[in-house]
Structure 1
């Protein structure tokens, strides 16, 4: 008796339709950008909204990149879970993927990576595809950083030499927010490519490890974030990390002084604390 091959599961009809939540995030980013550019109301609050909504937008795109590559690599379950709709509320760990990265941005100005898209490895046919799925997220942050850097490379932003502003300072708050967003994307890319268990960099290597090393990796993976915090808590490592990040930023035309100005502006509550 000859049987027919099982049909591949079909994605839900609206699987690729952006969710209302994501559309709202995009709208908030655009409105916050306009408010910052025009100086509407309290410009420091405008900068805060632009940076946080822009960062949240990049987090959605980061996770979407993991999901879309997984989908075309064979795991169609990501569509059933709603990962392809760019809805952060669908993530398996919204605390780690959304809330914690936003808190760390506010407190430390670091684009902390998050991980929440669950991929069924049984549906993925090769180690290379598994590595590509893990790499898709930080690669998206790299692309985002390049897009944000284009105006600076084109000379549209304010010219800064060291910490000295040269020429016109028009719309300084907007450019400072944009510079900070670019630096956040760079930090997220660098951190995500570190070969730390549980992070994207470690997950890129994990499929190629021998079974004993994979078991050890899986044992330490839940503590990858804690290890990252410990490393960044060390003042010397923190200094080296930001030196490397700013070096990349300067290569892209983004001034460290401008991004630092963006971070100070974003912390609007500092005025209330004296």
Structure 2
């Protein structure tokens, strides 16, 4: 298969995975009282409104060329936590919305993969496999409780307010912590079995 076609087939699910992850945060925030993302026109499904040059373009491209691992991110949608009607509960709900969107896309790409095999369509198979990988990675990694990942928002909502504030002070260093844990292989050893388990469960569910 032409390498350009393969690249496009992989790029499409990556772009939509990171886009819908962020838009889901904004949709849920709006339903819970915060219209900040809506007023900033960040609830659009147009990927160009959410592209981050590093997270949506550079990182996925480097990973595509050097590994079998796919990961990326879009520009975070703006959320004013003070506008949420029930702050502690709603912060957790907004946070969970991103991984939930990835779960929905994961199932959709699984169904697309099954269709690709039935039609013997190489492009659809490649696209679906990429969609499955990136959505599993986004869903699982974002649930790791390292600020500012989504899992940290859920955990902070469950902690006493004082302890939550102390915990969230890690946020400026969160990306560095994640990169170090990934580069050292520590994070991979922790979440790797989860990634494999989620994929196996999906394949069993869909009969793949």
When the two structures are superposed, what TM-score results if normalisation uses the length of structure 2?
A: 0.82
Of 19, 22, 31 in structure 2, the residue corresponding to residue 63 of structure 1 is 22
Runs of at least 5 residues in structure 1 that lack an aligned partner in the other structure? 1-38, 159-167, 255-274
Of 144, 169, 172 in structure 2, the residue corresponding to residue 222 of structure 1 is 172
Structure label with greater radius of gyration: 1
Match of 2:33 in 1: 74
Structure 1's 186 and 196: CA in aligned 2 closer, same or farther, altered over 3 A? Answer: same
Structure 1's 227 and 82: CA in aligned 2 closer, same or farther, altered over 3 A? Answer: same
What is the distance in 2 between the residues matched to 1:251 and 1:59?
Answer: 22
**1:192 offset after TM fit, Å?**
0.7
For 1:223-250, what per-residue CA distance to the aligned partner results, in whole angstroms no more than 9, with x for missing partners? 2222112222233642553343123212
What is the distance in 1 between the residues matched to 2:13 and 2:117?
Answer: 18
What is the distance in 1 between the residues matched to 2:166 and 2:31?
Answer: 29
What is the distance in 2 between the residues matched to 1:226 and 1:68?
Answer: 29
What is the distance in 2 between the residues matched to 1:88 and 1:216?
Answer: 35
Of 95, 98, 117 in structure 2, the residue corresponding to residue 134 of structure 1 is 95
Match of 2:184 in 1: 234
Q: Give the number of aligned pairs.
A: 201
For 1:75-108, what per-residue CA distance to the aligned partner results, in whole angstroms no more than 9, with x for missing partners? 12221111112344545x8346534553464244
**1:175 offset after TM fit, Å?**
1.2
Structure 1's 241 and 122: CA in aligned 2 closer, same or farther, altered over 3 A? Answer: closer
What is the distance in 1 between the residues matched to 2:33 and 2:75?
Answer: 20
When the two structures are superposed, what TM-score results if normalisation uses the length of structure 1?
A: 0.64
SS at match of 1:102: helix
Q: Considering fraction of residues, name the structure with more helix.
A: 2
1:81–1:90 contact (8 Å) kept in structure 2: no
SS at match of 1:116: coil
